Structure 1
Amino acid sequence: MEPLTEQRHVPGPLVFGFLHLVRVSRSRQLALTRAITEYCRRHELTLAGVYMERGSSTPSAFVGMLDALTATQSYGVVLPTPSHLGPKVIAAERRSQLTEAGARLLLIRGEQTAPPGAAAPPLTAGGTE
């Protein structure tokens, strides 16, 4: 007889983490990465990786993450706060790109968004930024 699903490892929805880091220490970067990892663990999400953008020096990090989201048909992106999408001018465009890709925006702290027609917004969990 097969074990019940609750007794078997069943992977959760695939997500990517994203960090926009400006003048952030290595310890802060590690803490933010741990916060994303812990959020995924608590919400039974499979974290495929964390993309990091350091100011405007690595704008390709977001593009790479967007490509990975599309290629893997992932569930969404986990951010510590909305500010990790980048400066306000860029963040609005990135939100739009994520929506067009059908990705959910999962925030450890802050407002939650989901693409149009989504059944329910994702969960919010307390955490640190």
Structure 2
Amino acid sequence: MDDEVITEQRPVAFPKVFGYLRYAAGGPARHAALVDCLAEYCRQHELTLCGVFTDRQAAMAVRSPAFVGLLDALELPGTYSAVVPALSHLGPKRLVPDRMRQIAEKGTRLIVIRSTGMSALPTRSGHAKPHHHPGGA
């Protein structure tokens, strides 16, 4: 008989995710609360939060420094998704579709903790990929 360790005794690597936050009024305390929200969500859903990128400028560009950092991180091997507290963290409404497309083009998912009812996000192939739709956070 094989001396192979049973699966339940092997270390399990939880899927890697990276958080993204948009500058929020409220300063450091609000930012810390948002990071805690992402971390708690990931803990509850057995995801490994590997980092959080934050755009601190009120004015937003499609390819802001923190968003570019997120996109780069999404290319790391084994990365499962980006996670945001709400779609509004992707920026003003005019930027959200383009940013969602850029995330999907990396072959990763977008987890929106507090979703407003969107049911699918486009993937690189153009087909809809269901996104995580928890009941709130």
What is the TM-score with the length of structure 2 in the denominator? 0.79
More helix by share: 1
- Asked if residue 40 in structure 1 is aligned to residue 81 in structure 2, the reply is no
State the Cα distance separating 1:18 from its structure 2 match. Answer: 0.5
User: Which stretch shows the higher mean deviation, 71-80 or 88-97?
Assistant: 71-80
Secondary structure at the aligned position of 2:53 is classed as strand
Q: Deviations over 1:68-114 (max 9, x none)?
A: 11133511101000100011111121011111111211011104544
Q: Which has the higher contact order (CA 8 A, sep 6+)?
A: 1
Q: Residue type of the partner of 2:41?
A: Y
- Which residue in the other structure is 1:109 paired with? 114
Tell me if the contact between 1:66 and 1:98 (Cα under 8 Å) persists in the aligned partners. Answer: yes
Residue pairs, 1:1-20, within 5 angstroms: 1-20=3-22
User: Which stretch shows the higher mean deviation, 66-75 or 82-91?
Assistant: 66-75
Number of aligned pairs?
A: 126
More strand by share: 2
Q: Deviations over 1:51-75 (max 9, x none)?
A: 0111237921000110111133511
Q: Residue type of the partner of 1:9?
A: P
- Which residue in the other structure is 2:91 paired with? 86
- Which residue in the other structure is 1:26 paired with? 28
- Which residue in the other structure is 1:69 paired with? 74
Change (3 A) 1:78 1:8: same
Give 1 or 2 for the bigger CA radius of gyration. Answer: 2
Aligned counterparts of 1:82 and 1:35: Cα–Cα separation in 2:
14
Change (3 A) 1:28 1:70: same
Q: Residue type of the partner of 1:93?
A: D
* Equivalent position to 2:52, from 43, 46, 50: 50
Task: Provide the identity percentage.
Answer: 41
Root-mean-square deviation (CA, aligned residues, Å) is 2.2
Structure 1: tracts of 5 or more residues without a match: none
